[in-house]
């Protein structure tokens, strides 16, 4: 089930407008980035560090030991702005193109999803 069906209840096959698609894209990307950012941060830390680490868990422990839990989200603002804007604009653009193509050619939307 798509997020748009849950948020807007349009299970009847209606298309979302561009603003709604943009808002749904923003919400979904903020949730996804918030959940995965500590892992991305640890991966970058592992790639950049000269020290031999045992793995992801030991890297996460080191970051929290040295910087606290806020260290896991260092640089989060820049990352979330980048990811959220890019993804939500792409989602809104895809939905708008799908809507335009479906109204002009009647029934081609199955190829766009």
Spans of all domains in the chain: 3-111
Q: What is the DSSP string of 5-43?
A: HHHH--TT-PPPPHHHHHHHHHHHHHHHHHHHHHHHHHH
Q: What is the pLDDT of residue 8?
A: 53
Query: Do residues 91 and 22 make contact, with C-beta atoms less than 8 angstroms apart?
Result: yes
Residue 112's pLDDT band (boundaries 50, 70, 90)? Answer: low
pLDDT of the residue at 109:
47
For residues 81-107, give the mean pLDDT. 79
Q: How confident is the model at residue 98 (pLDDT cuts 50, 70, 90)?
A: confident
Mean pLDDT of the region 66-80: 92
Look at residue 77 in the predicted model and tell me its pLDDT.
93
Mean pLDDT of all residues in 70-77:
92
């Amino acid at each position: 089930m798509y997020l748009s069906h849950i948020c807007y209840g349009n299970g009847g096959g209606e298309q979302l407008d561009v603003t709604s698609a943009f808002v749904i894209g923003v919400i979904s990307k903020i949730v996804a980035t918030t959940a995965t950012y500590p892992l991305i941060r640890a991966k970058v830390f592992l790639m950049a560090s000269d020290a031999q680490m045992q793995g992801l868990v030991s890297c996460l422990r080191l970051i929290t030991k040295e910087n606290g839990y806020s260290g896991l989200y260092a640089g989060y603002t820049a990352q979330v702005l980048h990811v959220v804007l890019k993804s939500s604009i792409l989602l809104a653009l895809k939905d708008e193109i799908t809507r335009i193509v479906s109204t002009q050619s009647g029934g081609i939307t199955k190829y766009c999803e």
